[in-house]
Chains A and B, each alone.
Chain A
Amino acid sequence: MADVLAPARPRPAAVLRHARTYLRLAAAWVRSSYSYRLSFWLMVLSSFAVNAIEFLAVVFIFANVPDLGGFSLREVAFLYGTTGVPMALANLLVGSVEDLGRSIRTGTLDQMLVRPVPLLVQVCSDRFALRRVGRLGQAVAVLVWAGLFVDWSPAAVLLTLVALLAGTAIFFGIFVGFAAIQFWTADAAEVANAFTYGGSSLTQYPLTIYPRELVAGLTFLVPVAFVNWYPALLVLDRPEASGYPGWLGLASPVVAALVLALAGLVWRLGVRHYRSTGS
């Protein structure tokens, strides 16, 4: 067990190897789910439709009001897209980590622990669900539509791309970090939803609609505000709207690194705490 618990020091070559393993494991699950073609496409469609409904609700809201928290439909759509795409990417890549509790209950986690592949790689690729591209497709569609109305400069394009990447990393960390709670209570999977999907729901709207304390919490405690809010304010040229200095919009990559480090720490603590269900 010693080598499992020892902190992995990621070397570039090792990271590449793990990524390749991840892809291979994920591809196996894709092949297996794609053998039921009709089911697969229905699931993709449903994943798309659930989120399309959510955005339709936003459009309906704007049938009742001229602006929401001082932001127009197009601006809200940009916020929606810039949190939706990172959420969908993280959900696609590591969403399976939510099912950690099941692996613990059924004991399959023990099998994973003795395989020569990092546990996180195995858990995240377990039952990899390509159907989640439906969510990604919907988020990309909204972002592209919103992007038509943005006054693009090279800096704005770069900032948006960086934010999408950093946002994916932030959600990645939140998925892994909060899923690790299940090492302590295998039944409490739903708590994580409040931070993962909740974090993405919160940031679909301008944070001006929330009380100041909540925005502070989303900035300093569970920093989902860095996924899209601060960068988007720079892109939309509304830096005054947040009440915080505009340069926070450039800090997303730093925040992402912090979140990833913290999530890794919690994950490792969880693995160390893990005792098999026995027998």
Chain B
Amino acid sequence: MPGLRLHLAVAVRSFRRWSTYRAATLSGIFTNSVFGVINAFVLLAVWRANPGAGGYDATDAVTYVWLGQSMIMTIMLWGGGAPSDLAERIRTGDVALDLYRPVGLLSWYLAADAGRAVFHLLTRGVAPTVVGALLFDLRYPDGPLTVLAFALSVALALLVSFAVRMLVAVAGFWVLDSQGLTMTANLLAIFFSGITLPLVLFPGWLGEVAMVLPWASYLQVPADVWLGQRTGGALVGGLALQVGWAVLLLGATALVLRAAERKVVVQGG
């Protein structure tokens, strides 16, 4: 399958491209770790005052914080990654070159983003978790199956976040200034992913709604898999939610892209 080899090559080069920023990676790890410490102490205080809040115990809560810090860059929770490159290329018109290639735009950028994600997982994912493990008592997956399910859940988280970021980027074909859209998307992700506060602490119906929105796939579902909060039917349900959003959003992105290819007039000579 030549297509697979091509996409692998794209992913590897994207990995290498990101790996050149060494000082930036190190300083990012440092900052993730500092914020991990801050958030861990805040949540520890919450669980001291209410030991069973949200169905977690204190160890779960602290582990959640460090998993969150590890996911920020891995799935580009705050936006960015390969879809940002596309957005810039749409703005400048360079996207015309991309459209000439005998490869689908979606799979090309997905491969690039996957390569980046692997780099960020290995550096800014693993390192803060190690720091967290050294400083705090963490909960670890209780078996190889849980590890496997977690890995799958993280991959699905990347797919969903990629699809959302792509939709925003592709909107640039129609909207000249997509800043407003980008910001709205980022705000929603920051709030509803549970990076600011675990979704299990959201009050009442808001918590229930947040649990089934696409952004729950970003952090809450993978974290619950890791923590053993989702087993059996709940585990399948969580993964199904992620698969559902991934299929739906990637499908929507593919449709929008096809429409864009038909109508777009690239600016400039």
By a beta-carbon cutoff of 8 Å, the part of chain A in contact with chain B is: 36, 38-39, 42-43, 46, 49-50, 53-54, 56-57, 60-61, 63-69, 185-191, 193-194, 198, 201-202, 205, 209-211, 214
Q: In the assembled complex, how far is the CB of residue A70 from the closest CB belonging to chain B, in whole angstroms?
A: 9
Chain A neighbourhood of B30, CB < 8 A: 190-191, 194
Would A187 and B42 be within 8 Å (CB), given that A42-B183, A60-B201, A64-B53 are in contact?
A: no
Chain B neighbourhood of A69, CB < 8 A: 45
* B53 and A187 contacting across the interface, CB-CB below 8 Å: no
Interface positions, chain B 38-68, Cβ under 8 Å from A, are 38, 41-42, 44-46, 49-50, 53-54
Binary CB contact string for chain B from 25 to 43 against chain A (1 if under 8 A, 0 otherwise): 0111011001100100110
* B24 and A190 contacting across the interface, CB-CB below 8 Å: yes
Q: In the assembled complex, how far is the CB of residue B172 from the closest CB belonging to chain A, in whole angstroms?
A: 14
Would A43 and B179 be within 8 Å (CB), given that A190-B24, A198-B38, A210-B41 are in contact?
A: yes
Would A61 and B31 be within 8 Å (CB), given that A42-B180, A53-B191, A209-B42 are in contact?
A: no
Chain A neighbourhood of B46, CB < 8 A: 61, 64-65, 68
* B203 and A194 contacting across the interface, CB-CB below 8 Å: no
Chain A neighbourhood of B34, CB < 8 A: 194, 198
* A193 and B31 contacting across the interface, CB-CB below 8 Å: yes
* A191 and B41 contacting across the interface, CB-CB below 8 Å: no
Whether a CB of chain A sits under 8 angstroms from the CB of B134 is no
In the bound complex, how far is the Cα of B28 from the Cα of A185, in angstroms? 13
Whether a CB of chain A sits under 8 angstroms from the CB of B208 is no
Whether a CB of chain A sits under 8 angstroms from the CB of B23 is yes
Whether a CB of chain A sits under 8 angstroms from the CB of B21 is yes
Name 14 extra pairs, CB < 8 A, besides A68-B42, A198-B38, A209-B45: A39-B180, A43-B183, A54-B196, A61-B42, A64-B50, A65-B53, A187-B22, A187-B27, A188-B23, A188-B26, A190-B27, A191-B30, A209-B41, A214-B41
Chain A neighbourhood of B96, CB < 8 A: none
In the bound complex, how far is the Cα of B27 from the Cα of A69, in angstroms? 31
* B27 and A205 contacting across the interface, CB-CB below 8 Å: no
CB nearest to A193 among chain B residues: B31
* A65 and B183 contacting across the interface, CB-CB below 8 Å: no
In the bound complex, how far is the Cα of B34 from the Cα of A214, in angstroms? 12
* A46 and B183 contacting across the interface, CB-CB below 8 Å: yes
CB nearest to B22 among chain A residues: A187
Would A187 and B196 be within 8 Å (CB), given that A60-B203, A198-B31 are in contact?
A: no
In the bound complex, how far is the Cα of B54 from the Cα of A69, in angstroms? 19
Would A42 and B179 be within 8 Å (CB), given that A68-B46, A205-B42 are in contact?
A: yes
CB nearest to B44 among chain A residues: A209
